[in-house]
Amino acid sequence: MSDLHLSGKLSDGDPRPVSRGSKIHAVFLGLDSLYVVLEYPLKDVYLRWSSSVTDLHDIRLSAGIPVGDLVVRRGGLGYKLSVWDVDARLFVTDRVDETLEGTAAAGQGMGLMLQLGPQWLAKFGSVTHTDRLIAHVYDQFAVFGVENPNQYKARLNRVDIALDVFGLSVADLSIEEWRRGWVGYAKRKDYHDSSFTAELEGFSIGSSKGAVRFKIYDKVAESTSSGKSRFWRSVWAVGEDKNISVARFEWTAKPYSGRFSDLRYLTDFNYVRYLELLNYLSERWGRLCIPDTDANRSRWEMAPLWIEIRQLITEWTVAIDGSAKRRYEMRPDLKPAYISFLAGSLAGLMARLGVEERKEGPASLFDAIAYLEGEGHSIVRKAQAKWEVFSRLTDQGGLE
């Protein structure tokens, strides 16, 4: 199989075989993010968190304003504010049923939207114990100040399922084979090249507004860019200094708006529903096939790589151990680009001060910091303020 193209034909001078047989293996399969909308009619939660913000345009909201153990930031997706607990965030607004009563928009309240990220899900998102997962979701609503959240319906607005394939380089994939061989409901395809290497870094199939969207991208590059490389390498059980290739296959489904049968609300979610959804996404909704002369594309033979992907999914779900736990590294990366920028900025200030003060060389680091303090830039005060935010957005305990 290692001598085959995705199309299933023998390589003809093409040095980029992309199906690597036993060399590729799954290092993660599970929930990557979960969006749950609580049909909450009251404005009290919004008032609670907005009371700490005098101006919704306050520039401090970009970085975050510490409030207790949490952080208040700008909103999004139509919500005015968001409240963060590591990578769990609650989006809040006063456009709820209580304030819309008696208006033309009555009954169209937005409720509260909870977005759960991969770090939260690593701790609480076991798909084999969905009763616990559902309980943890309601507990998280309670952390954000919602009283008796389980009294309200919780919509499954979006579910992201990710499969990370070790040993498969996205740059080696043939766009033409995906263009010709994709069989499924979605037609739109978008391709993305790296701005640094000009090589293929990922592509998507389907629209972001549709009920389902599929993406493949270089997870190593993405996690490095987002400052989550430490976390994902701990998930993959790979050292931080190793040069690796990991291709992410990611399906985004919108059960509520897409009217998925028996999977529109949080309480509908269980392990069987999860497997049914995963099988639907990777088999019926779309798959990579070998192009054929048969006009009925549904009869086309599945491509070698997609056969392997389906096998990886089957093996992972059969062998899954719901009680197994590992320690994940939750601290964000100190990105090389940031360190380089900081070193360059400090060196530049030391050099300029040396010239300004007519020294025989650059000023010392101590003199540079003293100069900043003298100009009203308190490093210690700013560091404390930033730590107050960062410490609340970082789970420093990991998971045993």
CA angle 108, 111, 116 (to 5 degrees): 140
pLDDT value of position 332: 62
Strands 182-184 and 189-193: unpaired
Q: Which amino acid is at 171?
A: A
Distance CA 84, CA 102 (A): 32
The predicted model gives 387-397 an average pLDDT of: 60
- pLDDT by residue (tens digit) across 315-360? 998 865 443 344 556 566 456 665 676 778 778 878 888 887 888 8
pLDDT value of position 187: 81
Distance CA 310, CA 216 (A): 15
pLDDT value of position 337: 63
376, pLDDT greater than 80: no
pLDDT value of position 197: 79
Using CB atoms within 10 Å of the CB of residue 390, give its burial: 0 to 12 exposed, 13 to 18 middle, 19+ buried: middle
**Token code pair at residue 338:** 């940031």
**Token code pair at residue 231:** 């976390």
Q: Quick check: 71 and 49 in contact, CB under 8 A?
A: no
Distance CA 190, CA 200 (A): 11
The predicted model gives 264-282 an average pLDDT of: 96
> How crowded is residue 77: how many other Cβ atoms within 10 Å of its Cβ?
12
The three-class DSSP label of residue 236 is helix
Pick from 151, 125, 138: nearest CA to 90: 138
- pLDDT by residue (tens digit) across 123-155? 999 999 999 999 999 999 999 999 999 999 999
The DSSP secondary structure of 75-103, one letter per residue, reads EETTEEEEEEETTEEEEE-S-SHHHHTTS
Q: Which helix (H) or strand (E) holds 337?
A: helix 336-356
Assessment of whether the complete model's pTM goes beyond 0.75: yes
pLDDT value of position 6: 39
Q: What residue ranges do the domains of the chain occupy?
A: 1-32+155-322, 40-152, 336-390
Distance CA 50, CA 38 (A): 19
The three-class DSSP label of residue 387 is helix
pLDDT value of position 378: 72
Distance CA 87, CA 66 (A): 15
Q: Between the CA of residue 264 and those of 35, 210, 219, what are the distances in Å?
A: 12, 15, 29
Distance CA 172, CA 314 (A): 25
**Token code pair at residue 379:** 């490093």
Percent of the chain with pLDDT over 90: 63
Distance CA 184, CA 206 (A): 10
Name the more confident of 359 and 160.
Answer: 160
Pick from 78, 26, 73: nearest CA to 52: 73
Distance CA 36, CA 116 (A): 8
